Amino acid sequence: MELKQLRIFLAVADELHFGRAAERLHMAQPALSAQVRGLEDELGVRLFLRTTRRVSLTRAGESFLPEARATLAQAEAAAVAARTVAGEGAELLKVGGVDSATAGLLPQVVRRFRRDNPEVEIKVNEMLSAPALHALSNRHLDIAFVRVWPKDSHLAARHVLTEPIVAALPADHPLAAREAVPAQEIAKEPLVIPARSHRPILFDVVHDYFRSRGYEPRILQEANERHVIIAMVAAGLGVSLVPEWVTQFRRDDVVYRPLAGGGPLVEVYVVWREREVMQSALSFLDYLPAPQAE
């Protein structure tokens, strides 16, 4: 029995769908199915009931599930212990997620964490929500920051940030003189935003904001990187709606204004593995903002 087989079993048990489990693990579905059959053959029991319409755990599978989770957790604990000894106490903590976290929230958090935990090396990568959740499940990340609440039962999460969307305008634009910019005025302007294929959540938030008010946004340009968007705004090519953290990109030729009546909000959640055994990952959570009261 291999740890890989246990990870595949847990993915199928969580998803109750071979296709979704294969996608989560970045595997071809036939290869995943073959691994499950091999595990079942080795155990001499069927772990899943399969029909053309649904997948469910057998009684043997239900009994095997908590033991498989415990075995993987113990294996991870052993690996962490070995790496720690080999590195004379050094650990690598892999953190990743959306830009509001990696650029807006994390710099101060990482600075404080490193001050108190100098033996822990931290690697931070920016990535979208779906890839970050996949990386967390595959143990390519230890902590993920995403805009969607995870559906996988093996992942734990909590809210860390609510961020308003604000308008970015050329400094000489007539709307720049306003304290807040009305939606109907922004709707008249050529808009520079990321493509939906690159940032689907923000794209939908912006479109829903306009359409809920009876306006259709004028998409002039699609740019994916924040600094490119702000440069295009500075050049007078259009205006943009951006998360508040982007106001850190200060330029004399760009101003940021709130949206009249309150702009749409985007959320950020921190996600980790439910049975995490890396103490540095669990400690890192303590440095994040406390959950907001409902």
pLDDT tens by residue, 118-177? 889 999 998 889 899 989 988 889 999 999 999 888 899 999 999 999 999 999 999 999
How many whole angstroms separate alpha carbon 167 and alpha carbon 190? Answer: 12
Comparing 25-29, 54-58, 77-81, which segment has the lowest mean pLDDT? 77-81
Hey, what are 263's tokens? 């702009």
- Percent pLDDT > 90 in the chain is 39
Residue intervals in the chain for CATH 3.40.190.10: 89-160+267-285, 162-265
Mean pLDDT of 265-280: 88
Q: Check residue 16 and give its pLDDT.
A: 87
Cite the DSSP H helix spans in the chain.
3-15, 18-24, 29-43, 59-86, 99, 106-116, 129-137, 183-186, 200-211, 226-234, 279-285
Residue intervals in the chain for CATH 1.10.10.10: 3-84
- Position 264: which residue type? P
**Mean pLDDT, rounded, of the chain:** 86
Q: In which residue are the tokens 């929230």 written?
A: 105
Q: Check residue 79 and give its pLDDT.
A: 67
Maximum mean pLDDT: which of 2-6, 18-22, 64-68, 234-238: 234-238
SS3 145: strand
Q: Check residue 294 and give its pLDDT.
A: 45
Hey, what are 143's tokens? 């902590």
Name the CATH superfamily for 162-265: Periplasmic binding protein-like II (3.40.190.10)
CATH of domain 89-160+267-285: 3.40.190.10
The length of the chain is 294
Hey, what are 267's tokens? 């959320």
DSSP one-letter code for 275? T
Element (H, E) at 166: strand 155-170
For residue 157, how far is the Cα from the chain centroid? 11
Pick 83 or 136 by higher pLDDT. 136
Q: Of the CATH numbers 3.40.50.300, 1.10.10.10, 3.40.190.10, 3.40.50.1820, which one belongs to the domain with range 3-84?
A: 1.10.10.10
For residue 267, how far is the Cα from the chain centroid? 11
Residue 128 near residue 263 (C-beta atoms within 8 A): no
